[in-house]
Structure 1
């Protein structure tokens, strides 16, 4: 597994955790949706680079 793929997967999981945390804190839905979309794109890019 390349370094870039590892970093993208790690970043996707980090952003996903942030989205979940923000959702639990009942922060604005726009922020949560943006983080979730970014998380999904990072995870997808990381998995496709494997």
Structure 2
């Protein structure tokens, strides 16, 4: 897989969203954590398929 700026940007976004998931779980907001986890999965998939 060739890494471009877009790949790195999308993977960085996924990591940022995963930190949000951890924060929401600690606050007890499980539905919000699931929504943000879905967005993180989409960002990761976009990073993989961008090439």
Partner residue of 2:19? 17
Structure 2 stretches of 5 or more lacking a match? none
Partner residue of 2:10? 8
User: TM-score when scaled to structure 2?
Assistant: 0.81
User: TM-score when scaled to structure 1?
Assistant: 0.82
**Are 1:46 and 2:42 matched, yes or no?**
no
Query: Equivalents in 1 of 2:45, 2:9: separation in Å?
Result: 12
Partner residue of 1:35? 36
Q: How many residues of Structure 1 are paired with residues of Structure 2 in the alignment?
A: 49
Query: Equivalents in 2 of 1:15, 1:40: separation in Å?
Result: 9
